[in-house]
Amino acid sequence: MGELTKTTQRVIDPTEGQGFATTRFQDLLAWAQKYSLFMYPYVTACCGMEFMAVTSPRYDLARFGAEAPRFSPRQSDLLWVVGTIVQRQAPVLKRIYEQMAEPKWVLAFGTCASCGGFYDNYATVAGIDKIIPCDVYIPGCPPRPEAVFDGLMLLQDKIQRGDRTPAIVKPRFDPVVEPGMGVVPLRRSRTDGPITGRNRSLKG
What is the domain partition of the chain in residue ranges?
Answer: 24-168, 176-204
Could you tell me which residues come within 8 angstroms of residue 87 by beta carbon, excluding any fewer than 6 positions away? 122, 123, 124, 125
Angle 47-54/145-161 helices, nearest 10 degrees? 70
Mean pLDDT per 10-residue segment, the chain (204 residues): 53 54 72 81 88 84 77 86 90 91 89 86 88 90 87 88 83 64 55 51 44
Output the pTM of the full model.
0.70
What pLDDT does residue 203 have? 45
What pLDDT does residue 97 have? 92
What pLDDT does residue 204 have? 42
Q: Which CATH class is domain 24-168?
A: alpha beta
Length of the chain in residues, anyone?
Answer: 204
What pLDDT does residue 17 have? 55
Angle 25-34/145-161 helices, nearest 10 degrees? 160
Q: Which of 137, 47, 118, 127 has the alpha carbon at shortest distance from 86? A: 127
What pLDDT does residue 95 have? 93
What pLDDT does residue 81 have? 92
